[in-house]
């Protein structure tokens, strides 16, 4: 199975080439216990990875709105970071991701507000606790944005410069210059201006992202998530990807890839530990386990009952209607005279025989692996259907 790593997972998840090479080498030497320990360590690292994201910038720049948008929470929801037209964030607050509590956003007060002066700002907000900073800025580039960038860089931390409210900049320019308005030129101008200011304070190749908190899928947010995914340490990549809002097919595919890698790694371990390689049926506890996996994927991709309820309220479609569009809620339902264990086994035989041949069909872990992969694929497809049919073509 280790030799099928690329074909099974497409190598787009949290495992590094180095991880795969060490696994291959211990397996080649027949050191099974060592291989299992490596796998356990990797899974543990990924499951326990914490991500602390600092969101800072001047008052009113859109910090709280960004945190809410990123977490898929409406500004008026109960656990939203409060947003508003007057200064609202005056001390440090943290917000957990609603589904992945290991991902925390820190809503930091703007630099230069009376209690937070530029010189002591980063110390006051415990800068070393964060994995990276988002510096949020709206309208004109401010002196404080530059100071902040400089300080963060000097402290050896990474920052991403996020220029918010691009939607209203474009609207304003369109109104002000209806004849000569050119969307790309306006975006280019803003980008260039931010870049020049940041270069002045010593950031050689500043990373600038133009976004609208009201339209995350437009502008640079997809690019931002892409770059962050690449720049994060591998073990933090998994939870970061899962925490992203489903705004594009690409994000859904990346989530699927990282989860596929985890299923693969766990199956490899089961294979190594397998003392009963052949089981001709699915036991009750393994069915329950598969059900749990399915529920987890549905939650990860926003296809669980709670998410469907929210989508139904926001899209004016009934939950029943949404469920007719997608497949995963029906995967484990059976007809009167059907038996779930037999149904799963039938699937497994089909999936395994597609590329595994006879030997593979016999191995229990292999069957379970194939069924989990099928569940994952179905749920990811459902998420795409909801994205394309519900959000992009409203009733
Ligand atoms: N048009 C537009 N308005 C935005 C955007 N982001 C935030 N706003 C609005 O800008 C105002 C300030 O947003 P907040 O998210 O409260 O800003 P903040 O940085 O948290 O402000 P403080 O908590 O006071 O530091 C609110 O009225 C938001 O609705 C955006 O991308 N586009
Ligand atoms: Mg705020």
Parse the chain into domains and list their residue ranges.
Answer: 2-47+246-391, 49-232
- Ligand 1: atom nearest CA of 75 is 29
Distance 91 CA to ligand 1 centre (A): 16
Residues near ligand 1 with C-beta < 6 Å? 59-65, 83-85, 87-89, 110, 164-165, 167-168, 212-214
Structure tokens at 153: 């860089």
Tokens 């499951």 belong to residue: 47
Distance 188 CA to ligand 1 centre (A): 22
| CA 53, 58, 59, 63 torsion-angle sign | negative
Q: Tell me if 47 sits within 8 A of 262, measured CB to CB.
A: no
- Ligand 1: atom nearest CA of 109 is 25
pLDDT in tens, the chain (395 residues): 656 666 666 656 788 888 888 888 888 888 888 989 999 999 999 999 999 999 998 888 999 999 999 998 887 877 787 777 666 656 788 999 988 999 999 998 877 666 777 777 778 888 888 999 999 999 888 878 888 888 888 888 899 999 999 999 999 999 999 999 999 999 999 999 999 988 888 778 889 999 999 999 899 999 999 899 888 988 899 999 999 999 899 999 999 999 999 998 888 888 787 655 555 566 777 788 889 999 999 999 999 999 999 889 888 889 999 999 999 999 888 887 777 777 777 777 776 665 554 444 446 677 788 889 999 999 999 999 999 877 666 55
Percent helix, strand, coil in the chain, to 5, is: 55, 10, 35
Distance 58 CA to ligand 1 centre (A): 10
Among 81, 83, 116, residue to substitute to test ligand 1 (most atoms within 8 Å of Cβ): 83
In angstroms, rounded to a whole number, what is the distance separating the alpha carbons of residues 330 and 320? Answer: 12
CA 210 from centroid of its chain's CA atoms: 19
Q: Tell me if 67 sits within 8 A of 23, measured CB to CB.
A: no
Among 71, 84, 116, residue to substitute to test ligand 1 (most atoms within 8 Å of Cβ): 84
Per-residue burial over 300-336, b if 16 or more Cβ lie within 10 Å, else e, is bbbbbeebbeebbeebebeeeebbeebebbebeeeee
Residue 144's closest CA among 198, 105, 187, 86? 198
Residue with the smallest CA separation from ligand 1 atom 28 is 84
Distance 85 CA to ligand 1 centre (A): 7
In angstroms, rounded to a whole number, what is the distance separating the alpha carbons of residues 13 and 244? Answer: 15
- Ligand 1: atom nearest CA of 87 is 24
Structure tokens at 348: 């497994």
Among 55, 56, 59, 65, residue to substitute to test ligand 1 (most atoms within 8 Å of Cβ): 65
- pLDDT, residue 275, reads 56
Distance 230 CA to ligand 2 centre (A): 28
In angstroms, rounded to a whole number, what is the distance separating the alpha carbons of residues 162 and 277? Answer: 53
Structure tokens at 80: 């939203």
275: enclosing H helix or E strand: none
Q: Tell me if 95 sits within 8 A of 79, measured CB to CB.
A: yes
- pLDDT, residue 7, reads 64
In angstroms, rounded to a whole number, what is the distance separating the alpha carbons of residues 318 and 322? Answer: 6
Distance 6 CA to ligand 1 centre (A): 44
- pLDDT, residue 324, reads 93
CATH number of the domain located at residue range(s) 49-232 in this protein: 3.40.50.300
Structure tokens at 232: 């994060």
Among 60, 93, 105, 135, residue to substitute to test ligand 1 (most atoms within 8 Å of Cβ): 60
């Amino acid at each position: 199975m280790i030799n099928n790593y690329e074909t099974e997972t497409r190598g787009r998840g949290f495992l590094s080439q180095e991880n795969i090479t060490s696994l291959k080498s211990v397996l080649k030497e027949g050191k099974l216990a060592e291989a299992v320990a490596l796998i356990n360590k990797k899974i543990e690292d990924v499951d326990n990875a914490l991500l602390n994201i600092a969101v800072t910038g001047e008052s009113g720049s859109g910090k709280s709105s960004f945190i809410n948008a990123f977490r898929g929470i409406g500004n008026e929801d109960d656990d939203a970071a409060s947003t508003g037209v007057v200064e609202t964030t005056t001390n440090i607050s943290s917000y957990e991701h609603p589904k992945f509590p290991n991902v925390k956003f820190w809503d930091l007060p703007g630099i230069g507000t009376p209690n937070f002066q530029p010189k002591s700002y980063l110390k006051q907000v415990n800068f070393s606790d964060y994995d990276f900073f988002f510096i949020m800025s709206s309208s004109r580039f401010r002196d404080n944005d530059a100071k902040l960038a400089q300080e963060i860089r000097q402290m050896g931390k990474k920052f991403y410069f996020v220029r918010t409210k691009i939607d209203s900049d474009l609207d304003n320019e369109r109104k002000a210059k209806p004849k000569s308005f050119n969307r790309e030129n306006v975006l280019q101008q803003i980008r260039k201006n931010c870049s020049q200011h940041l270069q002045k304070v010593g950031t050689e190749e500043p990373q600038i992202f133009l976004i609208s908190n009201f339209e995350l899928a437009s502008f640079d947010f997809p690019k931002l998530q892409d770059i962050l995914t690449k720049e994060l340490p591998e073990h933090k990549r998994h939870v970061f990807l899962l925490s992203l809002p489903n705004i594009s097919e690409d994000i859904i595919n990346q989530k699927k890839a990282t989860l596929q890698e985890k299923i693969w790694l766990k199956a490899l371990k089961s294979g190594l530990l397998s003392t009963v390689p052949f089981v001709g049926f699915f036991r009750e506890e393994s069915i329950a386990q598969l059900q749990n996996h399915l529920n987890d994927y549905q939650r990860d991709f926003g296809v669980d009952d709670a998410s469907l309820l929210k989508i139904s309220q926001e899209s004016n479609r009934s939950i029943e209607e949404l469920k007719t569009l997608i497949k995963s809620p029906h995967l484990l339902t059976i007809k009167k005279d059907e038996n779930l264990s037999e149904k799963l086994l039938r699937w497994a035989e089909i999936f395994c025989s597609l590329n595994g041949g006879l030997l593979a069909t016999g191995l229990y872990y292999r069957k379970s692996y194939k069924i989990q992969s099928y569940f994952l694929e179905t749920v990811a497809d459902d998420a795409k259907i909801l994205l394309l049919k519900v959000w992009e073509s409203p009733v």
